[in-house]
């Protein structure tokens, strides 16, 4: 069991709906559309000392660049500090 501490929140990223690829402009095959600065995530678990009330299953908006990937025993966990949460949706 992975239980975050020190103001960390364990999150699960929500998948954005894929947009249609109907473009009249030919782009290189390795071109990637820039990702937005912020993303939506689901709260899996939060440390007891998080500075605001948050519950498991709530959706939050976060600064995508501040997500930390932690690998423990072959499992990858995504965590973020509470000060990078922009909104609770």
pLDDT by residue for the chain (89 residues), tens only, comes to 899 999 999 999 987 655 556 667 888 888 888 889 999 999 999 999 999 999 999 999 999 999 999 999 999 999 999 999 999 99
Q: Does any domain span residue 20? A: no
Q: What CATH number does residue 8 fall under?
A: 2.30.33.40
Q: Does any domain span residue 8? A: yes
The pLDDT, as a whole number, for residue 6 is 97
The pLDDT, as a whole number, for residue 20 is 56
The pLDDT, as a whole number, for residue 7 is 97
pTM of the complete model? 0.82
Q: Does any domain span residue 52? A: yes
Which residues of the chain form beta strands (DSSP E)?
8-13, 38-46, 59-63, 68-72, 75-81, 85-88
């Amino acid at each position: 069991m992975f239980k975050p501490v020190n103001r960390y929140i364990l999150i699960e990223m929500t998948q954005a709906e894929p947009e249609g690829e109907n473009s009249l402009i030919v782009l290189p095959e390795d071109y990637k559309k820039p990702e937005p600065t912020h993303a939506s995530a689901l709260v899996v678990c939060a440390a007891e000392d998080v500075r605001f009330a948050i519950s498991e299953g709530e959706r939050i908006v976060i600064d995508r660049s501040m997500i930390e990937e932690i690998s423990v025993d072959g499992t990858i966990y995504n965590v973020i500090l509470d000060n990078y949460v922009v909104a609770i949706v």
